[in-house]
Amino acid sequence: MNLYIVVEGEVGEKSLYQNWVPLVNQHLKYVQHISMIAENNFSIISGGGFPSYFDVIESAIEDVNFYNTIDRLVIAIDSEDLSYSDKLNEMTEYLSQFKCKAEIKIVIQHFCLETWALGNRRIVKPNPQSQKLIQYKRFYNVRSADPELLPSYEIEELNRAQFAEIYLRKALNDKFKNLTYSKRNPKALLNSKYFQRVKERFEQTGHIKSFDDFLTAFSKIDKIS
């Protein structure tokens, strides 16, 4: 089974998918370019953010049809300010205009990748030291409440995606003094323990429901060649 993946973001998001996909399916091995895909491989291309990723997706479909080695094209995007269903409908309608030789799976990161990352309960200490994190936790406690329901933080004029990113960074800084997070450097999220704790949060509580898109895209494979 071979996969080609379009992620919305740049270097950081590619790194996360490169590290997390084999944790879902150990059969899949990363290669740098679609032309290198042979057997049970996956490759990743950056979409460059909204709305640039529409052009990248179109090119990716053309590449899939040209190389003829891809079984599944995975498109991973944030829902941002849209609901999960509205974003899914938008992408489904957009993709309906193209013919692709491979199966297409859409992964909606609702509402952003950081939302999933906040699903790791252990990164937010029960008694934070950071005054800013104390304020955030008092406003919305992601340890107990579903991170996908995190609202915007109007006090700082942050939409929900911006708030999730800053919340995550503050939590990591408070828990681990030498560890941080940015979209270009998601190193803190890349290890297998972090992934497992996010997965456990989904499986045990039903929170971060859109994470099932990620698991489905790489684990529910009918046949491994």
Note the pLDDT of residue 225: 39
* Confidence check: pLDDT of 186 > 90: yes
* Confidence check: pLDDT of 185 > 50: yes
Strand partners, 77: 108
Any domain includes 192: no
CA distance 17 to 22: 9
pTM: 0.95
Note the pLDDT of residue 145: 98
Report how many domains make up the chain. Answer: 2
> Is residue 43 located within the same domain as residue 125?
no
Alpha helix (H) residue ranges in 71-154 = 84-95, 113-117, 131-139
- State which residues form the domain around 97: 3-110+210-219
Encode pLDDT of 33-48 as tens digits: 999 999 999 999 999 9
CATH number of the domain encompassing residue 11: 3.40.50
Strand partners, 44: 5
Q: How large is the average pLDDT for residues 53-76?
A: 97
Any domain includes 74: yes
Note the pLDDT of residue 178: 83
Any domain includes 194: no
* Confidence check: pLDDT of 223 > 90: no
> Is residue 75 located within the same domain as residue 133?
no
DSSP state of 7: E
Cα–Cα distances (Å) from 117 to 64, 96, 201, in that order, read 30, 31, 10
Residue 221: phi and psi, rounded to 5, are -110, 125
